[in-house]
Homo-oligomer: A and B are copies of this chain.
């Protein structure tokens, strides 16, 4: 019987295991997970803080026991510390017992994920946390309960930081937001995200920009301007790095930033070694350029592709990603897809921007929604899109994703026959209008 080893048991690894077992009843599957838990909904962690996931245990999708029922062996607290892709074997460290052993594979699936970045000033600070896995969530909840914490200092303006701000506010805690620049949520255009700081203040958050913590002593944090603030709990969400150091001498190609290189089949540069999840480099669906997208949709899709490939169904391939993403911040919904802002200038392009009510304008409670697209001048392709509003943003970004995927151009948006009824849209939706505006702009180029 062939043996498939999977490194990492969270979203990517667990889904790959489940898919592989479903397709392929005759393969031996072993998951090595360095942490305590497998297969938990890590995107849902912040919502347990705020109470919207009131049942913490619902975040656990599978356990080693439930995996065993499907004949998948799970070893938690087991870290793969070395891969020899030539000899097709891994070196595993039993983290609890400090034991090390080697294991051979026929197929290896790498889903090591990322490791949260840390700041020097927060090392060895007992009330400092990250929010990366279920252990972190449990630690935070325990600490709050044990120390009766009602105030938290949040560092980081990425989506995890922002989701945590919302959720700690929902929990009724006093929140201080510390950010070393004025730029909040880099995935979004600055002018489209100009509501972030205002919304934080409206929600009672103590906002401190252009500063950072340099030292923590007891429950007091000192900022770089010398100010001392009350910091009974600190949570940092300042980004992640791919957890791929163990692959250094594996013979598996990494890119300059340490992400594992993959292609349409999910295979790495090494035979019978596949990779998925937050630690891979993949490619843009619409331009073919290299990218990294640390999001769940791609991991789930790649799990299916890899399971199919390993099971001999080689015509199932990965199409690349648009990086379609969305975040809620209190009443706001923020979504983007396609190239990142800094990548757009590499293309000859123009911008089309449109703001329109999310439903018929005569309806009470209709609210504005703004969509911006970056259009490739030579071929009319949509390179990037950003959508902001308080209702219906998810609808628009998903339509764009479906449209772009099948080669729909910007002008072509005029032709999407959306469902119209006053509570849902205008007869010409915001996307249709972007199409018509694009056509007008292109006519002017031709003149």
Contacts of A236 in B (CB 8 A): none
Chain B nearest CB: distance from A173 CB in Å? 19
Which 7 pairs of residues, A with B, have the shortest CB-CB distance?
A406-B406, A58-B362, A326-B419, A395-B395, A296-B427, A394-B424, A402-B402
Chain B nearest CB: distance from A436 CB in Å? 8
With contacts A398-B399, A399-B399 known, is A296 near B420, CB below 8 A? yes
A165 at the interface (CB under 8 A from B): no
A237 at the interface (CB under 8 A from B): no
Task: Give me 6 other A-B pairs in contact (C-beta within 8 A), A398-B419, A401-B418 excluded.
Answer: A44-B422, A53-B422, A297-B418, A337-B417, A399-B402, A405-B417
Q: Contact: B362 with A297, CB < 8 Å? A: no
The CA of A401 and the CA of B419, in the complex, are separated in Å by 8
Q: Contact: A361 with B421, CB < 8 Å? A: no
What is the size category of the interface that chain A forms with chain B?
35 or more
With contacts A401-B416, A406-B403, A427-B11 known, is A360 near B44, CB below 8 A? yes
A227-250 CB mask vs B (1 if < 8 Å, else 0) is: 000000000000000000000000
Chain B nearest CB: distance from A199 CB in Å? 16
The CA of A297 and the CA of B426, in the complex, are separated in Å by 9
Which of A93-101, A120-128, A255-263, A298-306 faces chain B?
A298-306
The CA of A11 and the CA of B420, in the complex, are separated in Å by 13
CB pairs A–B below 8 angstroms (24 shown):
A41-B422, A43-B421, A43-B427, A44-B363, A44-B422, A47-B422, A51-B364, A52-B364, A53-B362, A53-B363, A53-B364, A58-B362, A300-B428, A301-B415, A304-B436, A324-B418, A324-B419, A325-B420, A326-B424, A327-B421, A333-B424, A394-B419, A395-B395, A395-B398
A288 at the interface (CB under 8 A from B): no
Q: Which residues A246-301 have CB closer than 8 A to chain B? A: 285, 295-301
Q: Which partner residue on chain B sits nearest A45 by CB separation?
A: B422
